[in-house]
Amino acid sequence: MTKLNVALIGHQFMGSAHSNAWRQVGAFHDLPLDPHLAVVCGRNRETTEAAANRLGWAEASTSWEEVIARPDIDVVDICTPGDSHAEIAIAAAAAGKTVFCEKPLANSVEESRAMLAAAEKAGVLHMLCHNYRRAPAVALAKRMIDKGEIGEIRHFRGAYLQDWIVDPSFPRVWRLEKSKAGSGALGDIASHSLDLARYLVGEISEVCGMLETFIRERPLEDGSGMAPVDVDDAALAMLRFESGAIGSVEGSRFCPGRKNYNRFEINGSQGSLVFDLERMNELEVYREEGANSGFRTILATDPSHPYVEAWWPPGHILGYEHTFTHTVLDLIHAIDREELPSPNFEDGVRNQCVLDEIERSHESRGWRQVEA
């Protein structure tokens, strides 16, 4: 079997999730290529070497430029903060590598378009990691919608709620700096809801948004003083879809008790679907059945459900980490077939355009058209 040499850039939270996926995918799924965890790259030599040992990478490096220049590297997996995505991805594409990038694709529309242009110019494959598309229950919802099982889609309601920065004494980490993160809850978590909206319902044509920062100053991580917070703590948006459906998305990191509440409800002319990441193996389905009508719950752990066959017997639940494994699985098959995977950088540009127009809508206090 042909070896597929992978380089991981960044090894914190997302880097760990991606590492686990690359390690696990071949143990449970039949693959056309053999992924090899060749090298992990970070800024600090000591912590990067520790990460390589802990996460299973053969080598450690502190120079992503040198890693990308290596002729043996086939895939560059980018798990750094958003302010470095464009530079790394553009260089990787120019070096002829397949580029796999965490969401959101970039910190601006201009950067995302430059990344797409570079990948297309180089003729390389590119993929954006929106892992929740690969939760079996979400993929099952997509299958049901595509088959017309809930009829014409009329409503989408998405909410992604967390509570990890409610405490005012929580420090100003990089996710609270616009220069590094691009935006706050909007780009970090609402972007997931917006991607699911596009994936399940279709393209978004208009938005009307509102952003709010509740705590505008936080302690620096080193304890040396206070620093301003220049990103949103919460974001809300109303949506119009090209199909005629309407929707809403809310993202907030200020919801006590909500740890990772990524939920959507879709209403069609013949039924409804509900998903909640905190109960991620379940898909609620409503169909009109007269006096016996009501929501029923499908436990999406049957071998007939997307991605499940390779794992455990029915009823043995899957977790957050499996969504990344399924994403890597589809990427490997796409590389073998020399086909562009989905979502890719074009989706990243479209998502970034929606995020950008929500910010502009907040500033203008009015509806904005979305143009990719």
**Sequence spans of domains, the chain:** 3-132, 135-341+349-368
What is the pLDDT, as a whole number, of residue 288? 86
Q: What is the mean pLDDT of residues 62-84?
A: 97
- What does each C-alpha distance from 209 to 47, 227, 237, 248, 349 come to in angstroms? 40, 26, 4, 10, 19
Q: What is the DSSP letter of 2?
A: -
What type of residue is 312?
A: W
226: left (phi over 0), alpha (psi -120 to 50) or beta: beta
Q: Report percent pLDDT > 70 for the chain.
A: 100
As a whole number, the mean pLDDT across the chain is 97
CA 363 to chain centre: 26
Q: What is the mean pLDDT of residues 229-239?
A: 97
Token pair for residue 114?
């430059």
According to the CATH classification, is domain 3-132 in 3.20.20.30? no
Report pTM. 0.96
**289, pLDDT greater than 90:** no
What type of residue is 306?
A: P
Q: CA–CA separation, 108 vs 163, rounded Å?
A: 26
Provide CATH code, domain 135-341+349-368.
3.30.360.10
